[in-house]
Amino acid sequence: MRAVEHTVREGRFRRRRAELVYDDAGEGPLAVYAHGGFVSQAAEDRMGLFDWAPVLDAGQRLVRYDARAHGRSTGDAVDTDYTYPSLADDLLALLDHLCAARPVDAMGASMGCATVLHAAVQAPDRFSRLVLLIPPTAWTTRKTHARDNREWAELIEREGVDAWLAAKRNQPRPTVLADVPELPPTPAARVLPSVLRGLALSDLPSPTAITALSRPSLILAWVDDPGHPLSTAETLARLLPHADLYVSRTRADIRTWGDRIAQYLTQPRP
- Across 16-33, average pLDDT: 95
- Across 253-266, average pLDDT: 95
The pLDDT assigned to 269 comes to 64
Q: How far apart are CA 115 and CA 86, in angstroms?
A: 8
Mean pLDDT of the chain: 94
Asked whether the beta carbons of 118 and 206 are under 8 A apart, the reply is no
pLDDT > 90 in the chain, percent: 87
The pLDDT assigned to 64 comes to 98
When pLDDT is cut at 50, 70 and 90, the band that residue 5 belongs to is confident
CA-to-CA separations, 2 to 5, 51, 99, 116, 188, in angstroms, rounded: 7, 12, 30, 29, 35
When pLDDT is cut at 50, 70 and 90, the band that residue 144 belongs to is very high
When pLDDT is cut at 50, 70 and 90, the band that residue 270 belongs to is low
Domain residue limits, the chain: 8-265
Quick: pLDDT tens for 71-130: 999 999 999 999 999 999 999 999 999 999 899 999 999 999 999 999 999 999 999 999
The secondary structure of 169-229 as a DSSP string is HTSPPPGGGTTSPP---SS-TTTHHHHHHHHHT--PPPHHHHHT--S-EEEEEESS-TTS-
Does the pLDDT value for residue 3 go beyond 60? no
Q: How far apart are CA 267 and CA 265, in angstroms?
A: 5
CA-based max dimension of the chain: 53
More confident residue, 240 or 169: 240
The pLDDT assigned to 1 comes to 39
Question: Which architecture characterizes domain 8-265 according to CATH?
Answer: 3-Layer(aba) Sandwich (3.40)
Quick: pLDDT tens for 152-182: 999 999 999 999 999 888 888 888 888 888 8
Does the pLDDT value for residue 2 go beyond 60? no
Q: pTM value? A: 0.95
Asked whether the beta carbons of 230 and 137 are under 8 A apart, the reply is no
